[in-house]
């Protein structure tokens, strides 16, 4: 059980740090050039630039995952639930992203399967508690 909690917490912290950094880069430069992403990829979406997606990425995915990591490492009674919700949220984030701007980038696959892993770990942690 302890190993599952450590893996879950590490995944949450890594995803959180990546999302905070990426979200901040999109907020600071909504053109997306800091991440080598042009606004042309946003054609057909409700967004003219990356400001709003950057804010969501920073707050929901980034800060949310970081807080989940803290909850997990503190072994809070709601750690499994938090991990499951945020793992599912990460999968939804990637699903919406792929449907809005297209898919095929290896990072999209990686983060989607991290979300699957987080959700699965949440179930295993809950079952073992």
Question: What's the chain's Rg over C-alpha atoms?
Answer: 15
Provide the domain limits for residue 12.
2-128
Give 12-50 as a 3 state SS string.
HHHHHHHHHHHHHHHHHCCCCHHHCCCHHHHCCCCCCCC
pLDDT along the chain (129 residues), means of 10: 95 98 98 94 94 97 97 95 96 96 93 97 92
Which pLDDT score is estimated for 42?
A: 95
Q: pTM (2 decimals)? A: 0.93
Number of domain units in the chain: 1
Which pLDDT score is estimated for 129?
A: 77
């Amino acid at each position: 059980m302890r190993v599952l909690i450590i893996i879950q917490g590490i995944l949450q912290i890594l995803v959180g740090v990546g999302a905070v950094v990426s979200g901040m880069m999109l907020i600071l430069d909504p053109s997306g050039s800091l991440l080598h992403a042009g606004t042309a990829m946003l054609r057909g979406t409700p967004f003219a630039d990356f400001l709003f997606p950057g804010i969501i990425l920073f707050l929901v995915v980034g800060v949310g995952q970081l807080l989940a990591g803290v909850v997990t490492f503190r072994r809070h009674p709601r750690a499994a639930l938090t991990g499951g919700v945020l793992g599912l949220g990460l999968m939804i984030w990637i699903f919406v992203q792929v449907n809005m701007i297209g898919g095929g980038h290896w990072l999209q696959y990686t983060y989607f399967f991290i979300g699957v892993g987080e959700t699965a770990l949440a179930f295993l942690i809950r079952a073992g508690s």
